[in-house]
Structure 1
């Protein structure tokens, strides 16, 4: 498998990654060695604090505050040493000014480490002039490092929020606050774990660094190249095969990557020229790769490192996060695959020749046998390791390690029958699509570290840090032994240079992992400014009022406004910083306003909602940084590439609206295997239909009404209840006093929605819907049920009820009810037909459109 040699050569992907993620300096000599040494020391430090060694040896035991301070010190130091101040700065040396800034930045981070006791003991008291200088100098240098590493958008956001912290009294009334004093600002933002050194940086230090290091080491071992070539071997022979390979390879590499740009330029350097060769325009080729790479950031288990943040923000386990996130990510990738297929059909693209050809029956049998074999092996390994745990008890770990070692050696030995996987020459012409099976078997051992990670996370339910630590240990073994064992398997001499090469790859991977984390860590620290200001000023509550005012009480309009604000706030930001910013500002208002509409939205759905739309900013002009990187690789028009990528991303944009209204897509509320099958089947079908509708082609070129109908049908398939709600409303309205009748003698649990009206904090009369869950044992009167279940006391007021008392922190109070509010009516759910039955007439309409298009196609090209 080789790549085309044409006048339109792609740009050097290593240079793009260097400029976007690692800094733009090209240093040699002692400067290069110093930076490599700092990066290596950073990785060793992070592995040390993640291991049990500090407790075993009673050495360098650090609390969270100290760990985060040292973590940021490494990142800021590397930024000033590796990222030039401007595009005109010299790239071959480090200016004296940058060295001075590096030392000052590191000192401001380590101030708390050196003076920890005095800083902590005086928490809440007056701060010294030196501490004021340390805090403001640290913030200024952090913003400068952010400008160098991430660009100006994040700096502008940070400066705006710092200004907002001090200028609160002078802001418009709707977002005003009393303002922060210099003393409180200093402590909150720099000398505590509330601002810069808060939760985002803690997650960066505790989890994200290890997972980025895991991905870097795995790529250094050759797994990234393996995934790309395997994807092309599997799909390259299909119509539009290189584009389909880009979708799959980006999904595989995106699972372990924390950077959409790195994904674009790594896989894109290989896939984009192939897409152009088979008939995709440069803009479409770049857009497909960009869409695939951005989707890699929503694919578990890492999700661009946002999965760990999400677990902390939502307050659920990491396992639950990736469980909820998997189905939407898979559906989104499936939708993109369908778009690629339709584009290939529209363009009547050629099919590349396969190195080995099989008949249709042979391909089917080989696919079925492969699935059966892999499933059988997976189940066998599961029962094997479960049996080992039950039989060997405390010695199970030793036995498991020995079995994994034997499996690793066996896979290496099996690979000797197949050509070794090599990195292709990007300038060589493409001849044939290689057979997938030899590639799969030649590099199957690369999957072992991923298997260790998934096993520890999903089966053993270890913590994310412990799980990835075991996975990293397995990669250490792989890197150190891979080359000697491969030489032995292929009957080549095993020389000392092979062992040295393995050690060099390990050290290089440790250095690359730290260098990859530089920008991520700075982004997390800068995002901590936003989180700190939001927590100190109560901006989240103010955003609730803003969105409520603009939406006019419409939940759907509120979702649109939230989505738009997430796109705007996320422009120009990397994945992790993007999520922190949009979640800190928009997640709480979303939950609050949904509750005020009487709509119960799971918190994980809200966080995924803002996460998805924050990521879509990567393809949204004018700051579509991911799309511009793809355009650079494709040598295409950046604006057109970003616009096409935006259109391709619409399939991802509809999913958040759906899983907020239908949490079944997140595997929430699934009661049976049948319901699960219906949800997944209808969702996949909806993606096919949505792709056909947006691309204007299904079995032939679509009429306008057909495209519109297909898009509408796709949305209804994702949430069939939308159509049923128009015909048979889910609630019936009853007079307010009916609430007392329902609560009197209630046995069990019941959800009720109240239509209420009253004054808000501004004195305006507002209306809202309040969702309450009432519980009773069958012996309690209405007053007892309401107060014990919802913390609510009501008195009759004509045809309405009036709130006479509220329990602080109770359901009623947290839902937005207040003293003297009136309950105007009661809404109770009604029994109605299962919304899934509406899928049948929708499918009938799809069948009609397919029939019409096939008839047009059969009449000849003019009708197609």
Structure 2
């Protein structure tokens, strides 16, 4: 069986579904000359990024504006400002805005030395260009990312100006318009700051790597490989969704895109075998969202984390490995118990792709192995990404069906640039927020305010940080969400003794989980669109399935051994072991089945025992294991008794 025949959605329907729930994918579909103009510009964007990494050393005050010039120009060409403007025509206003976006960015390029020497003493023209640049960035973010991030950035700008009128600890001396514009656009602490720097280096190249992988058919191969590995197990399609989504995260930076790509064939299979629509959609949504936390190539915010903390990206990926495994183990466990509860079978041999043919294509995984090896050999993230891109082209040439033609390479270059536009807009807008935070000092004030609100209690501070991340995640992408919460909340956690990488990872996790947390759960809603299930119920089911994602951050804050921080191999394995046992108990309790159906009291004991086993500490581990042993033993006794009754009846 081929994955292409197992989907109930056409490519057009998939594109429409992605565009509906993922604003970054809602681009205009051009025909005629404009189609080729935008295609050429997208290709040139990728070519510039590759060239600047391989051949040129360009000052950041020139490289970042060029990166932004491509981004702003293409955003205004490809993204409509209103719902009515989503046709195939650009319109004169959008053409003007695109041209202005390029001009204000190239202003930096052509007057680089003058702007550097005029620092703090800008001309009227400088102020005009800087002001227009800020407005264009805000509008670009609104079009691509959404209103919330634009609104937050605007509030921070107003706060910077009206500082003297703010109440209590929020009061500051304020800044005039000239200083705000100068700091926001003519320094490396605002729009052109660290977020855009990471976008213009690591993130763009890894997004491009994902585009090349997709073009060689790796995405479809992940589905086939997952079917071979997990398809015949109990409740096979659900486990296929878990496995394939973990792999798909390597080539997709979007939870929604991941949902639609793999869910188009896993969700119909799950429904056919007897899973409820909401459960089937939730399995896919949860697994697809987890793809962003699965090394070796994680979500874009992970690259920002490496830059903010000042460690190699490999350290971030290494620290994220065990929590990511725990997350997917948790979903796997719950799908298994649900399948056992419903008595669902796995797929038959006839329903699976040919095992020999799938194994013949194992070479398609080589680029991922190569990029991991490059990172482990201390190659820079940029060089590793380029090595990955080149290896994808070379490996794809092994067989005719995966060999990339010149046209395929050009399409991959264009696709990668188009996928990166959302990151460009989000990081540029987030740069405004970061710039105002450094200008006003509000970051430290809010961090102290957060600690005061929590009464200095670590758990309450963690809880408030989680809530803030989830709320922000309803309207902002993970990248922007992480930038905001890590700037405000992570310092508060560090003040309370949390290791820096654990503090940042905590905010990163909950920014991602927001994609499946109601009332606005875009990944869950996209999955509901495929399953024809109720969106809110799907979101609730996704949250239940992703209990590991809600527990893991608290575990690694209390016990950094899970992040491989200052620990031994044995300690990390022990934390992983106890957490996994705990997840089995929690999963059994939430589903209501272990070896046999659990009654309400048994379910409560299973969840309690699971939570105790998850909490680090010898005493809690022993208590948790005792409770889980009792529930498991009684469940096993009931299962044997039921089998004996059936045998007696037969």
Q: Shorter-chain-normalised TM-score: which range? A: over 0.9
What is the CA-CA distance between 1:344 and the residue it aligns to?
1.2
1:841–1:315 distance in 2 versus 1, CA, 3 Å: same
Q: Which residue of 1 aligns with 2:363?
A: 445
Structure-2 separation of matches of 1:473 and 1:239? 39
- Measure how far apart 1:201 and its partner are: 0.4
Residues 312-354 of structure 1 show CA distances to partners (whole Å, capped at 9, x for unaligned) of 1112222211111111111111111111111212222233211
Q: 1:71 aligns with which of 67, 73, 78?
A: 67
Aligned-residue CA RMSD (Å): 2.3
Kept in 2, the 8 Å contact 1:297–1:575? The answer is no
Picking from 381, 399, 423, the partner of 1:464 is 381
Q: Is the 8 A contact 1:258 1:575 kept in 2?
A: no
Residues 156, 436 of structure 2: 8 Å contact kept: yes
The residue number in structure 1 matching 2:291 is: 296
Do structure 1's residue 37 and structure 2's residue 32 form an aligned pair? no
What residue number does 1:657 align with? Answer: 554
Matched, 1:611 2:508: yes
Matches within 5 A, 1:124-135: 125-135=120-130
Deviation per CA, 1:128-148, whole angstroms, max 9, x where unpaired?
222222122112111211111
- 1:274 deviates by 1.0
1:368-383 correspondence runs (5 A): none
1:806-864 CA-partner distances (Å, limit 9, x unpaired): xxxxxxxxxxxxxxxxxxxxxxxxxxxxx2x7634532331211122233334449x99
In the alignment, which residue of structure 2 is the partner of 1:726?
none
1:434 aligned residue (350, 353, 356): 353
1:221-251 C-alpha deviation (Å, 9 max, x unpaired): 1111111111012111122111111111111
Q: Distance in 1 between matches of 2:541 and 2:155?
A: 32
Deviations 1:261-306 (A, max 9, x none): 1111111112111111111222211111111111111111222122
Shift of 1:619: 1.6
Structural mapping, 1:851-862, within 5 Å: 851-860=633-642
> What does residue range 815-826 of structure 1 map to in structure 2 within 5 Å?
none
Residue 656 to residue 844, structure 1, CA distance change in 2 (3 Å): same
Q: CA deviation at 1:5?
A: 9.0
| Secondary structure at the counterpart of residue 297 of structure 1 | helix
Task: Give yes or no for contact 1:23–1:79 (8 Å, CA) kept in 2.
Answer: no
Q: Deviations over 1:88-111 (max 9, x none)?
A: 225121111110111111111221
Match of 1:669 among 566, 581, 593: 566
Question: Equivalent residue for 1:14?
Answer: 15
**Does the CA contact (< 8 Å) of 2:8 and 2:264 recur in 1?**
no
SS in 2 for 1:303: coil
Return the match for 2:596 from 678, 700, 708: 700
Superposition pairs of residues 586-597 of structure 1, within 5 angstroms:
586-592=489-495, 594=496
Note the 1:226-305 alignment, pairs <5 A.
Answer: 226-305=221-300
Structure 1 residue 637 corresponds to structure 2 residue 534: yes
Q: Tell me what 1:378 maps to.
A: none
Match of 1:731 in 2: none
Q: Which residue is equivalent to 2:606?
A: 710
User: How far apart are residue 575 of structure 1 and its match?
Assistant: 2.4
Deviations 1:463-498 (A, max 9, x none): 11111111112223345x34xx538xxxxxxxxxx9
Of Structure 1 and Structure 2, the greater strand share is in 1
Q: Distance in 2 between matches of 1:623 and 1:542?
A: 29
Unaligned regions of 5+ residues in structure 1, if any?
55-60, 356-431, 488-497, 595-599, 722-834
CA contact (8 A) 1:346 1:697 kept: yes
Which structure 2 residue ranges, 5 or more long, are not aligned? Answer: none
Instruction: Report what 1:112 is aligned to.
Output: 108
| SS across alignment from 2:293 | coil
CA distance in 2, matches of 1:610, 1:6: 37
Q: Number of aligned residue pairs: give it.
A: 643
Cα-to-partner distance string for 1:631-685 (whole Å, 9 max, x where unaligned): 22222211111121122222211111111011111112323x4334322222222
> 1:570: which partner in 2?
473
Q: 1:546 aligns with which of 449, 462, 470?
A: 449
Is 1:686 the counterpart of 2:468? The answer is no
Matches within 5 A, 1:715-794: 715-721=611-617
Task: Give a deviation string over 1:535-587, Cα, whole Å, max 9, x none.
Answer: 11111211123222321232211211111111112222222222112211211
CA distance in 1, matches of 2:27, 2:252: 21
SS at match of 1:350: coil
- Name the CA distance, whole Å, in 2 between partners of 1:607 and 1:260: 20
**Alpha-carbon distance between aligned partners in 2 of 1:7 and 1:311, rounded to the nearest angstrom:** 38
Whether the 8 Å CA contact 2:7–2:264 is kept in 1: the answer is no
Are 1:195 and 1:528, in contact at CA under 8 Å, matched by a contact in 2?
A: yes
Contact 2:2 2:353 in 1 (8 A): no
Query: Normalised by the size of structure 1, how large is the TM-score?
Result: 0.71
**Partner-residue secondary structure (3-state), 1:197:** coil
Asked if the contact 1:631/1:641 (under 8 Å) is kept, the reply is yes
Matched, 1:25 2:20: no
Matched, 1:98 2:94: yes
Shift of 1:6: 11
